[in-house]
């Protein structure tokens, strides 16, 4: 099913059938039929259409993801992912991070076919980078969803306000103000993300 929407400057929710939530297969087919849309799925089966990123927010997200990718290649314990991937989580939601890292062990639990669609697994580590138009409460809600579904470590980077919220499981996030870098732990121990370029933006 293809859909046409007006230009969006805020997320829009599409409810197909409240009584019969969309299956994983139908959801993947919907996304494949509408590749121009950036979508996520709520735990209730609602499809959330997110407007495209602005130039500065995309630069910041790509900078963070690029540094994670280079580290992951050298480290060898897992693989990094960018914003185009979507993970199907235990609560039924489908979320896309700005960047994520998954261990080789978790990746090995899925078949090649499963990996070529939306992988049904929880990344150990995610990074979300706030856009200037993002509301903090909305960004924090998404981080909490990641944590509730089993993400071990998450960073919410607010470049404009020069701070990082560090999520470790479902505990209250720790706020770090004016950091020059942030350091990984647990599954991504050894990863260091410099923040000067991300904070400066364009």
DSSP string, 95-129: E--SEEEEEHHHHTTS-HHHHHS---S--SEEEEE
What pLDDT score was predicted for residue 14? 54
Tell me the pLDDT tens digit for each residue of 75-104: 999 999 999 999 999 999 999 999 999 999
Q: Alpha-carbon distance 201 to 130, whole Å?
A: 12
Give 125's strand partners: 101, 153
The residue written with tokens 């499809």 in the block is 47
More confident residue, 18 or 112: 112
CB 202 within 8 A of CB 93: no
Could you tell me the pLDDT band of residue 47, with boundaries at 50, 70 and 90?
confident
What pLDDT score was predicted for residue 8? 47
Could you tell me the pLDDT band of residue 105, with boundaries at 50, 70 and 90?
very high
CB within 8 Å of 82: residues ≥ 6 apart: 62, 65, 69, 98, 99
> Measuring CA to CA, which residue among 79, 83, 100, 194 is closest to residue 149?
100
pTM for this predicted structure: 0.87
Q: Alpha-carbon distance 105 to 54, whole Å?
A: 35
What pLDDT score was predicted for residue 6? 45
pLDDT over 90 at 51, yes or no? no
What pLDDT score was predicted for residue 194? 97
């Amino acid at each position: 099913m293809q859909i046409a929407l007006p230009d969006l400057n805020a997320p829009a929710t599409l409810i197909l059938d409240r009584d019969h939530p969309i299956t994983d297969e139908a959801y993947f087919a919907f996304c494949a039929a509408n590749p121009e849309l950036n979508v996520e799925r709520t735990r209730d089966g609602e499809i959330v259409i997110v407007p495209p990123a602005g130039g500065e927010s995309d630069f910041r997200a790509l900078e963070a993801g690029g540094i994670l990718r280079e580290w992951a290649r050298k480290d060898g314990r897992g693989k990094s992912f960018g914003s185009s991937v979507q993970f199907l989580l235990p609560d039924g939601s489908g979320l896309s991070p700005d960047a994520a890292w998954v261990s080789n062990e978790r990746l090995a639990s899925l078949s090649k076919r499963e990996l070529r669609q939306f992988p049904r697994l929880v990344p150990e580590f995610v990074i979300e980078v706030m856009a200037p138009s993002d509301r903090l409460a909305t960004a924090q809600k998404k981080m909490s969803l990641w944590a509730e579904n089993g993400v071990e470590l998450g960073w919410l980077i607010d470049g404009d306000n020069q701070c990082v919220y560090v999520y470790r499981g479902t505990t209250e996030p720790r706020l770090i103000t004016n950091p020059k870098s942030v350091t990984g732990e647990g599954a991504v121990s050894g990863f260091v993300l410099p923040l000067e370029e991300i904070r400066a933006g364009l």
